[in-house]
Amino acid sequence: MPKMKTKSGAAKRFKIRAGGSVKRSQAFKRHILTKKTTKAKRQLRGMTEVHASDVKQVRAMMPYA
């Protein structure tokens, strides 16, 4: 049986935490930042958790994580 491949795009975007939850970086922080408020940009810093309804799909893309 051939090995399953990890989706390379998913491997770059998501990390599996020790407890099993999936972390991701925030969107909307790459460009067009001049019209966004300082508060909005500050709140987009750091990582956040993938929504519970999407975790199954992310795990399917990363079978060995």
**What DSSP string runs through the chain?**
-PPPPPPHHHHHHEEE-TTS-EEEE-SS-SS--TTS-HHHHHHT-SEEEPPTTTHHHHHHH-TT-
Q: What is the pLDDT of residues 12-64, one digit of tens each?
A: 999 999 999 999 999 999 999 999 999 999 999 999 999 999 999 999 999 99
Question: For the chain, which residues make up each domain, given as ranges?
Answer: 8-61
Does domain 8-61 bear CATH number 4.10.410.60?
A: yes
